[in-house]
Amino acid sequence: MQTRHLGRRGLEVSALGLGCMGMSMSYGPPADKQEMIALFRAAVERGVTFFDTAQIYGPFTNEALVGEGLAPFRERVVIATKFGIGIGPDGRQVTDSRPETIKQNVEGSLQRLRTEVIDLFYQHRVDPSVPIEEVAGAVKELIQAGKVRHFGMSEAGVQTIRRAHAVQPLTAVQSEYSLWWRRPEEELLPTLDELGIGFVPFSPLGKGFLTGTIDEKTTFDKTDFRNIVPRFTPEARKANQAMVALLQRIAAAKQATPAQIALAWLLAQRPWIVPIPGTTKLHRLEENLGAVSIVLTPDDLREIDRAAAQITIEGARYPEALEKRTGL
């Protein structure tokens, strides 16, 4: 497995990480615990060193799963988790990045993850009620206390990133990025390049769509988040098959799969990009990891860009209420 540096603050990880959220929520019922523990072991054996979770995944159960699954390999892996989204009295998610809450959150995460230090601690979503300087200051104190190694942010706008970075330098920013969601190219990637911050794309396979295994006839479990995503209506899925067809054409020429081409394309965008595709299946893990060895030439990349520019993606990536919580 190749490795990459996330930004310029010394954090080296495998070129592909493993997003763990789907093991516990959002894509149907939680996966079998023992099967996921076996998947963690398989991932580490294949060179994966970067694992992504959050306190709200489950909530809390995903951190506990990651902690148990990676405990035998703790010194060999980098664990990223997130603070700033909690559960309110009515059971709904709420943003809360008050410094006192962050310091409570870190103690719970450390316990669930069975570790003495969190390698990368992201603010999960910007909290408009708390100045970002206070958030960055709280994480800075945790770093000074030895409870956190690196600071990150998720789905934050560039001005907020700059303000946070001035207080506590950021190691990584996480946002959605793939061939069917390219907004980070407009402002985010140039800013991260300037500041020396790494980039971690989540949903690099378009929530599964870019694998070529989903069409307008696909049905999802009643608990699957994609049931409420505008981009996953049957009409949008039918229209968006054009992007899958593009990936399939490139994949055939490279003796690869559409998923591998989608990931290889991301890896080719910048040397400090580390995608975190999620899966609960060993054969999908192995397929995804195969993307690291695929070389897309400059001509390949130009062909993909030319063809993608002719495709209009139908449907918003989030329901309106969730999109408002992002800083992009």
Among residues 207, 84, 88, 94, the alpha carbon closest in space to that of 156 is found at: 84
H helices present in 147-254, as ranges: 158-167, 188-195, 234-239, 241-254
pLDDT digits (tens, 9 = 90+) for 56-92: 999 999 999 999 999 999 999 999 999 999 988 888 8
Task: Give how far the C-alpha of residue 8 lies from the chain's centroid of Cα atoms, to the nearest Å.
Answer: 19
Q: Check whether 327 has a pLDDT greater than 70.
A: no
The CATH label, of 3.20.20.100, 3.20.20.70, 3.40.50.2300, 2.40.50.100, for the domain at 3-323 is 3.20.20.100
Mean pLDDT throughout 102-112? 97
pLDDT at 91: 84
* Whole-number Å distance between alpha carbons of 200 and 188: 12
Q: Check whether 328 has a pLDDT greater than 60.
A: no
Question: Which residues are known catalytic residues?
Answer: 57
Neighbouring CB atoms inside 10 A of 50's CB total 27
Please, which pLDDT band fits residue 326 given cuts at 50, 70 and 90?
A: low
Q: Check whether 43 has a pLDDT greater than 60.
A: yes
